[in-house]
């Protein structure tokens, strides 16, 4: 059974770590995203389908994929989030849906309806990305206090609080 990815297009395109890794000579967002997905093989099998959802209206002469497994949707007068909600709610088989968005409300709704949700970082697999690794290395490490240090702190605080 193939999966159906429903991707918030601008959410993916504008993700801070993804924007640093993407290289393209085109300005069409759909083309940029689809080439990135294919290059990194993010959807796994070619049998899996992709629905890219963008806010607003399509631009005149915009990219049209020639792959029957790829659908471009524009939300027109509603938000892309609303369009994604309608797709999930209207799906006959929600177990094959996998929604890619960083929007917490969408993730919660999708999961409550029986579909799956992925954050952009999880979808792209940026754990392997050098930028993310260096960010994790810069985070302060959690230090453990010894029993004697804790005891000393407690004594000092007792003097202040229990006067």
C-alpha distances in Å from residue 155, one per residue of 30, 46, 150 = 62, 64, 9
Q: Whole-prediction pTM value? A: 0.72
CATH number of the CATH domain containing 102? 3.40.50
Q: What is the pLDDT of residues 32-71, one digit of tens each?
A: 888 888 888 888 888 899 999 999 998 877 778 888 899 9
Helix (H) or strand (E) holding 16: helix 16-21
In this predicted model, which residue has the larger pLDDT, 29 or 52? 52
Residues 115-127 as b or e (16 or more Cβ within 10 Å = b): bbbbbbbebbebe
- Give the number of other Cβ atoms within 10 Å of residue 12's Cβ: 24
For the chain, how many structural domains are there in total? 1
Give me the residue label for tokens 């099998």. Answer: 45
- State mean pLDDT over 131-154: 68
**pLDDT over threshold 70, residue 20:** no
Average pLDDT taken over every residue of the chain: 83
**pLDDT over threshold 90, residue 83:** yes
| Side-chain-facing half-sphere of 78: CA atoms under 13 Å | 10
What is the extent of the structural domain holding 10? 4-161
- State mean pLDDT over 62-89: 91
pLDDT band of 23, cuts 50, 70, 90: low
3 state SS of 76:
coil
3 state SS of 97:
strand
């Amino acid at each position: 059974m193939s999966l159906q990815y429903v991707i918030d297009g601008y959410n993916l395109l504008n993700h801070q770590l993804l924007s640093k890794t993407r290289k393209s000579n085109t300005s069409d967002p759909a083309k940029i995203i689809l080439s990135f997905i294919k290059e990194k093989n993010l959807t796994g099998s070619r049998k899996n389908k992709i629905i890219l959802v963008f806010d607003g209206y399509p631009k005149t002469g915009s990219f049209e994929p020639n792959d029957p497994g790829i659908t471009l949707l524009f939300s027109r007068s509603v938000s892309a989030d609303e369009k994604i909600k309608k797709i999930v709610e209207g799906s006959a088989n929600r177990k094959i849906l996998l929604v890619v968005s960083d929007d917490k409300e969408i993730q919660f709704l999708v999961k409550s309806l029986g579909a799956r949700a992925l954050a952009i970082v999880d979808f792209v697999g940026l754990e392997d990305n050098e930028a993310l690794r260096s960010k994790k290395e810069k985070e302060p490490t959690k230090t453990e206090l010894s029993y004697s240090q804790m005891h000393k702190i407690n004594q000092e605080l007792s003097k202040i609080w229990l006067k």
